[in-house]
Amino acid sequence: MFDKLEKILAYDNVFLSGGAGVGKSFLTNELIKSYRKQKKLAIALGSSALSAFNIGGVTLHSFFCLGYCDDMMKLSVLDRNQKQKEKLTKLKELLKTIELIIIDEISMVSANVFEMIGFRLKNSQFNGKILVVGDFF
């Protein structure tokens, strides 16, 4: 399964789904180890502090500089702030180097937050792949 996932991620984004206890977290952690062993940059993100902690990552809001925003209108206001502009410059530079973004507990990510993430990625030069992990059961 691991080899197939790596091969698919070479060409496409992936939604990894399954019920509790089927090995999603194990597979995700092995993938992160593999990328790091190959000197590839993989970023693990969680929809909450707990999910981020469980995969050794940070929250979506923190990584994508979303602050407390829950929609695009609030994000556009936040993005006008000078300190925020500096954070976004750093984020754009980082996104150029990332080969894989892993988002855990995707079922807990609202459509608005997903839209804001898409906005951040479209406004950067991100050319990597995205693996979203979770279940809707």
pLDDT in tens, 59-115: 999 999 999 999 999 999 999 999 999 999 999 999 999 999 999 999 899 999 999
**Closest to 13 measured CA to CA, from 91, 103, 110:** 103
Q: Which domain holds residue 77?
A: 2-134
Q: What is the rounded CA–CA span in Å between residue 90 and residue 29? A: 26
Q: How many domains, the chain?
A: 1
Residues 6+ away with beta carbon under 8 Å from 117:
60, 64, 103, 109
**pTM: predicted TM-score of the whole model, two decimal places:** 0.90
**Closest to 46 measured CA to CA, from 70, 22, 69, 28:** 28
**Closest to 131 measured CA to CA, from 15, 7, 2, 12:** 15
Token reading at 51: 């999910």
55: pLDDT strictly greater than 80: yes
The percent of residues above 70 in pLDDT, for the chain, comes to 99
CATH number at residue 9: 3.40.50.300
pLDDT of residue 114: 94
Tens-place pLDDT, residues 17-54:
988 878 788 888 889 999 999 999 999 999 999 989 98
Residue 137 pLDDT class (50, 70, 90 cuts): low
Burial call 52-68: b when 16+ CB within 10 Å, e when fewer: bebbebbbbbebbbbbe
